[in-house]
C-alpha cells in the first residue's frame, strides 16, 4: 500500500478546535514534525481538511 509523509508546517494557535484534533489524530504535535502514514481514504481526507497546515508527499517503501 502507498504511504505518505506528512509534515506540520504551521502552528495550531488560534485554529479551529476540529482542525487541532485532526492534526493530533495524524500524530503531529509540533511544527516541523513529520510522520509516515498509509495512504488510506480516511487519512487522505484528514490531510485534505487541514491542507493549509501541513505538507505531504508520497513515499516509496
Cα 18 to Cα 2, 15, 35: the distances in Å are 26, 8, 20
pLDDT digits 0-9 by tens, 5-59 = 999 999 999 999 999 999 999 999 999 999 999 999 999 999 999 999 999 999 9
Complete DSSP assignment for 1-61: --EEEEEE-S--TT--HHHHHHHHHTT--STT-EEEEE--HHHHHHHHHTTTTEEEEEE--
Q: Residues 6 or more apart from 44 whose CB is under 8 A from it? A: 4
Domains and CATH numbers, the chain: 3-59 (3.30.1390.20)
pLDDT of residue 28: 97
Amino acid at each position: 500500500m502507498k504511504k505518505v509523509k506528512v509534515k506540520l508546517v504551521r502552528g495550531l494557535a488560534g485554529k479551529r478546535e476540529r482542525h487541532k484534533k485532526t492534526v493530533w489524530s495524524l500524530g503531529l504535535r509540533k511544527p516541523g514534525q513529520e510522520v509516515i502514514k498509509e495512504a488510506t481514504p480516511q487519512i487522505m481526507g484528514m490531510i485534505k481538511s487541514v491542507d493549509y497546515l501541513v505538507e505531504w508527499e508520497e513515499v516509496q517503501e
